[in-house]
């Protein structure tokens, strides 16, 4: 008799792969096939305690390596990602449901870039000196914090996991990290690559499990001095309520309800193509996706026609097929949430212009969680569908008459993560960008990223900024030393 063993996604603690203390495992499903393909550790406080201990032991030597020595190790990790890019891309697609095209051209190259970027950023950073007068000189040092916690979501699993741990490690901290329980596979493979690349044991510890158990144990642990979290706004609120009374440093990257603002002078065909990409890339499961498309009334009809045509080009299908442009949503529960918002839109007076339902894909994906790219018109900016984050392939179109009205609509939600402005008028583009309540504004483009720039949101989209020197600042403590000369 042949026994086929299921893949067990174990914790990585102190340089070893370990089973959880609970001896319990959670199912990991491929959302494109609705089949379980792995089990992931259901870790609890005991596993987190061990991970924190391992990180504390590793901290004195890791934090006192030279920047060049840390850089070399992290560049070796980046090289390992490159070497194993195909395997990682396939794992990401199987775990999340995203297209292999997306994971191999965006997610995995970006994970490699995150490691390489922060590995080299630390070689070029500087600190300030303030000469007060002829007798007094102040200089600032920046030191690693100690053990830090990094918690990431399921939508861009390895991309966002590395976006946090790369600056944390580069700055000299030791990390206890938890990927989403829905998409743990690439973080598991990544921990193996770190070991192969020579990252010393205990410098990075990866614990898997549920947010309310393992995640919360990281937040509550008194020796975890800073928390970098990316996920939903409600979770961010819970985390802040636990971490703030302990005076932990906190970086929160939360939800969004982003506007794409299209003025009448924007070229219709090209803008419709790019705005559709902003709405539906990665099944609309990117916090930066433009899910509210505001269009100047004088071009509303031809623009919406072009947008419907572009929306329908997002072919839903098997994520492994080259021709597929939209894969599966991450889980059955998430698919049901997205479909419930489409139904809500109808009760709120909306008209579905494209999509609007679950898609049954033939072959191995017949049970997968696919939803057609959906465009809805006829809703007011204040209805729930236009105020709440759906985080799926659903976008709405709303006409506006004036620049002021467009800005008011864009700013009308509790969120403030990203926005895009589409216009040929340079001055208007700048003017509107300045008035938008948003951490990031793209003008005539979307998701063009430079890793040196500040990344994050305002209002309920988050607290703090990631990226470039902002991330290194977050993961270090500044000290001012004043010298009497
Ligand atoms: P989520 O908040 O449910 O989970 C995120 C992570 O937090 C997971 O690892 C989860 O296990 C963990 N978690 C859950 N409860 C916890 C708790 N009480 N204590 C500690 N950890 C806990 O979010 P999600 O559904 O995985 O991701 C989708 C959300 O993430 C969306 O709202 C999206 O906008 C947001 N997001 C934001 C950004 C950004 O940069 N602003 C980027 C990507 C995703």
Write the burial class of residue 51 (CB in 10 Å: 0-12 exposed, 13-18 middle, 19+ buried).
buried
Q: Which of 4-13, 196-205, 354-363, 398-407 has the lowest mean pLDDT?
A: 4-13
Tokens coding 459? 């209002």
Q: Which atom of ligand 1 is least distant from the CA of 334?
A: 25
Say if ligand 1 is within 6 A of residue 201 CB.
no
| CA dist., res. 449 & res. 437, Å (int) | 19
Q: Is the pLDDT of residue 1 over 70?
A: no
How many Å lie between the centroid of ligand 1 and the Cα of residue 151? Answer: 8
Name the residue with the closest Cα to ligand 1, atom 19: 216
Do residues 374 and 394 touch, judged by C-beta distance below 8 A? yes
Annotated domain spans of the chain: 7-254+466-484, 259-459
Pairing relationship of beta strands 35-41 and 7-9 according to DSSP bridges: parallel
Name the residue with the closest Cα to ligand 1, atom 42: 287
Classify domain 259-459 by CATH number: 3.40.309.10
How many Å lie between the centroid of ligand 1 and the Cα of residue 177? Answer: 13
- The whole-number average pLDDT for the span 206-214 is 98
Closest CA to 87 of 190, 206, 164, 156: 190
Q: Is the pLDDT of residue 2 over 60?
A: no
Say if ligand 1 is within 6 A of residue 466 CB.
no
How many Å lie between the centroid of ligand 1 and the Cα of residue 129? Answer: 38
- The per-residue pLDDT for range 368-414, each reduced to its tens digit, is 999 999 999 999 999 999 999 999 999 999 999 999 999 999 999 99
| CA dist., res. 408 & res. 380, Å (int) | 13
| CA dist., res. 195 & res. 15, Å (int) | 7
Say if ligand 1 is within 6 A of residue 255 CB.
yes
Contacts of 468 (CB under 8 A, 6+ apart): 121, 451, 452, 453, 454
Say if ligand 1 is within 6 A of residue 163 CB.
no
| SS3 readout for 240-256 | HHHHHHHCCEEEEECCC
DSSP strands (E only) in 25-135: 25-30, 35-41, 129-133
Pairing relationship of beta strands 129-133 and 25-30 according to DSSP bridges: unpaired
Radius of gyration of the chain (CA): 23
- The per-residue pLDDT for range 309-339, each reduced to its tens digit, is 999 999 999 999 999 999 999 999 999 999 9
DSSP code for 350: -
Say if ligand 1 is within 6 A of residue 392 CB.
no
Name the CATH topology of 7-254+466-484: Aldehyde Dehydrogenase; Chain A, domain 1 (3.40.605)
> Is 287 a residue of the active site?
yes
The 8 Å CB, 24+ separation contacts for 295-300 are: 295/262, 295/397, 295/398, 295/399, 295/400, 296/262, 296/263, 296/264, 296/399, 296/400, 296/401, 296/406, 297/399, 297/400, 297/401, 298/264, 299/262, 299/264, 299/266, 299/268, 300/397, 300/399
The 8 Å CB, 24+ separation contacts for 465-472 are: 465/251, 465/439, 466/163, 466/164, 466/167, 466/228, 466/251, 466/253, 468/121, 469/121, 469/125, 471/118, 471/167, 472/118, 472/121, 472/122, 472/125, 472/142, 472/167, 472/170, 472/171
Q: Which atom of ligand 1 is least distant from the CA of 255?
A: 34
> Is 285 a residue of the active site?
no
Q: What is the pLDDT of residue 469?
A: 96
- The per-residue pLDDT for range 80-101, each reduced to its tens digit, is 999 999 999 999 999 999 999 9
Mean pLDDT rounded to a whole number for the chain: 97
Pairing relationship of beta strands 147-151 and 35-41 according to DSSP bridges: unpaired
For the chain, how far is it from start to end, CA to CA, in angstroms? Answer: 82
Closest CA to 118 of 85, 78, 79: 78
- The per-residue pLDDT for range 225-245, each reduced to its tens digit, is 999 999 999 999 999 999 999
3-state secondary structure of 42: coil
Mutate to test the pocket of ligand 1, among 31, 44, 231, 288 (most ligand atoms within 8 A of CB): 231
Torsion of CA 207, 213, 217, 219, to 10 degrees: 100
Say if ligand 1 is within 6 A of residue 239 CB.
yes
How many Å lie between the centroid of ligand 1 and the Cα of residue 230? Answer: 5
Cα-Cα-Cα-Cα dihedral sign, residues 431, 436, 441, 446: negative
Q: Looking at 213, 253, 381, 466, which residue is catalytic?
A: 253
Q: How confident is the model at residue 3 (pLDDT cuts 50, 70, 90)?
A: very low
How many Å lie between the centroid of ligand 1 and the Cα of residue 171? Answer: 24
Closest CA to 112 of 370, 468, 451: 451
Q: Is the pLDDT of residue 4 over 70?
A: no
- The whole-number average pLDDT for the span 9-25 is 98
73 backbone φψ class: left, alpha, beta (φ>0; ψ -120 to 50): alpha
| CA dist., res. 106 & res. 407, Å (int) | 31
| CA dist., res. 17 & res. 339, Å (int) | 39
- Provide, rounded to the nearest whole percent, the portion of the chain with pLDDT above 70: 99
| CA dist., res. 309 & res. 264, Å (int) | 19
- The whole-number average pLDDT for the span 294-308 is 98
3-state secondary structure of 62: helix
How many Å lie between the centroid of ligand 1 and the Cα of residue 228? Answer: 11
| CA dist., res. 230 & res. 256, Å (int) | 12
Q: Which atom of ligand 1 is least distant from the CA of 216?
A: 19
- The whole-number average pLDDT for the span 41-46 is 98
How many Å lie between the centroid of ligand 1 and the Cα of residue 254? Answer: 7
CA 106 to chain centre: 13
Q: What is the pLDDT of residue 5?
A: 84
Say if ligand 1 is within 6 A of residue 211 CB.
yes
């Amino acid at each position: 008799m042949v026994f086929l063993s299921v893949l067990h996604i174990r914790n990585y603690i102190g340089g070893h792969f370990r089973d959880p203390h609970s001896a319990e495992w959670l199912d990991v499903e491929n959302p494109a096939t609705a089949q379980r393909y792995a089990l992931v550790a259901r870790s609890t406080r005991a596993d987190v305690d061990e991970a924190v201990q391992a990180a504390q032991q590793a901290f004195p030597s890791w934090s006192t390596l030279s920047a060049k020595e840390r850089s070399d190790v992290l560049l070796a990790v980046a090289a390992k990602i490159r070497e194993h890019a195909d395997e990682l891309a396939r794992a990401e697609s199987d775990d999340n449901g995203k297209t292999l095209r997306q994971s191999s051209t965006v997610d995995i190259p970006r994970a490699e870039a995150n490691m390489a970027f922060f590995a080299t950023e630390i070689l070029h950073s500087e600190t300030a000196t303030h000469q007060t007068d002829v007798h007094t000189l102040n200089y600032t040092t920046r030191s690693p914090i100690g053990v830090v916690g990094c918690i990431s979501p399921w939508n861009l699993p390895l991309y966002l996991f590395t976006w946090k741990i790369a600056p944390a490690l580069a700055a000299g901290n030791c990390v206890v990290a938890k990927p989403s329980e829905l998409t743990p596979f690439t973080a598991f493979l990544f921990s193996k690559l770190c070991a192969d690349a020579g990252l010393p044991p205990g410098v990075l510890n990866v614990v898997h499990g549920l947010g309310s158990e393992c995640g919360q144990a990281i937040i509550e642990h008194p020796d975890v001095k800073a928390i970098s979290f990316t996920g939903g706004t409600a979770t961010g609120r819970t985390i802040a309520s636990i971490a703030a009374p302990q005076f932990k440093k906190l970086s929160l990257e939360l939800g969004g309800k982003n506007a794409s603002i299209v003025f009448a002078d924007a070229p219709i065909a090209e803008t419709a193509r790019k705005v559709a990409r902003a709405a539906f890339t990665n099944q609309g499961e990117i916090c930066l996706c433009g899910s509210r498309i505001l269009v100047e009334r004088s071009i509303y009809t031809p623009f919406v026609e072009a947008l419907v045509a572009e929306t329908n080009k997002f072919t839903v299908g098997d994520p492994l097929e080259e021709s597929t442009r939209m894969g599966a949503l991450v889980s059955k529960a998430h698919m049901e949430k997205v479909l419930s918002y489409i139904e809500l839109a109808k009760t709120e007076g909306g008209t579905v212009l494209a999509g609007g339902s679950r898609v049954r894909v033939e072959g191995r994906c017949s049970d997968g969680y696919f939803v057609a790219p959906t465009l809805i018109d006829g809703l007011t900016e204040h209805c729930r569908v236009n105020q709440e984050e759906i985080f799926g392939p659903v976008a709405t179109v709303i006409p506006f008459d004036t620049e002021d009205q467009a800005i008011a609509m864009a700013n009308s939600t509790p969120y403030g993560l990203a926005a895009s402005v589409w216009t040929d008028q340079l001055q208007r583009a700048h003017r509107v960008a300045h008035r938008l309540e948003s951490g990031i504004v793209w003008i005539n483009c979307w998701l063009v990223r430079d890793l040196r720039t500040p990344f994050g949101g305002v209002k309920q989209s988050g607290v703090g900024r990631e990226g470039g020197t902002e991330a290194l600042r977050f993961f270090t403590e500044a000290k001012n030393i004043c010298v009497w000369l």
